[in-house]
Amino acid sequence: MNKTKNILICNDDGADASGLYALIEIARDLGNVIVVVPEFPQSGMSHSITISKPLRAKLKTKESDYEFYTVPGTPADCIKIALNRLCKTKPDIVVSGVNHGSNSAISVIYSGTMGAAIEAALYGIPAIGLSILDYSAKPDFSIVKEYGKKIITTVLENGLPHQVSLNVNFPVCDRNSFNGFKICKQTQGVWNEHFDTRIDPYGNNYYWLTGVFKNEEPNNTNTDEWALENNFASIVPIKPNLTDIETLNIIKKWNLENE
């Protein structure tokens, strides 16, 4: 691997997340690293951007092959600022994560981790979002470090199609139980959501979001949910173009002319 590669890192769990430092450890073995991350956690921010106030990038660390910035904005903000102002050269790859919690199935559309990866892909840069199915503050990242490095080096060597990013999710299991990568599709499913009603100290109601994921194809072995349940790391290629071609061809046949 050519260690002169330039790697841009982002995340949505903020500057203090242990998953971020696991990813930095991987990336610094592979090339020059610039980290541009939200100052505070931004989970669930998807592809949102800040347009109502100015943003400042704060330099935390600067070395010959490593820079670390924080931005008081969203993951997509961080990528935009990095590519437009902070990166001296166009990155060879953007890697977002390691997210604490899975971004499989429909969760991908809510994910700030994948929002950063998709934003980078819009610029034509190969991009990967890395997540682990563990919501704790300090998961065991040993499998991610080993196999995350493998997927990053493979993408650096082979590239990705224009505006495609990879949504990579790791299961929680020990090394002996891990079954490797499975290239698959996003699971068809939906979150059945519920808001718990609670009362604050002043007697006012507030609402806390909870939910259960409903897998609409539990027996499909070609999905990311199946992969994770069977101790595979799932790899799903993602494109930002949301056009449904099948429906497009159907509605072309509609008669929408004025009579």
Per the CB < 8 A criterion, the answer to whether 35 and 20 are in contact is yes
Residues in the chain: 259
Q: How far apart are CA 34 and CA 69, in angstroms?
A: 8
The CA–CA distances, whole Å, from 24 to 13, 65, 175, 203 equal 14, 12, 21, 45
For 44-77, write each residue's pLDDT tens digit: 999 999 999 999 999 999 999 999 999 999 999 9
The CA–CA distances, whole Å, from 250 to 134, 143, 239, 253, 255 equal 41, 45, 22, 6, 11
Per the CB < 8 A criterion, the answer to whether 99 and 11 are in contact is yes
- Give residue 98's pLDDT: 98
Domains belonging to the chain, first-starting first, are: 5-187+218-251 (3.40.1210.10)
* pTM (predicted TM-score): 0.94
- Give residue 4's pLDDT: 85
Mean of the per-residue pLDDT values for the chain? 95
- Give residue 23's pLDDT: 98
**Average pLDDT for consecutive 10-residue bins of the chain (259 residues)?**
84 97 97 97 96 97 97 98 97 98 96 98 98 95 97 98 98 96 97 91 92 93 98 97 95 84
For 224-254, write each residue's pLDDT tens digit: 999 999 999 999 999 999 999 999 999 999 9
Residue 183: CB atoms within 10 A of its CB come to 13
The helix (H) or strand (E) run that includes residue 229 is helix 224-229
Residue with tokens 């990053």: 152
* Angle formed at CA 10 by CA 74 and CA 38, multiple of 5 degrees: 35
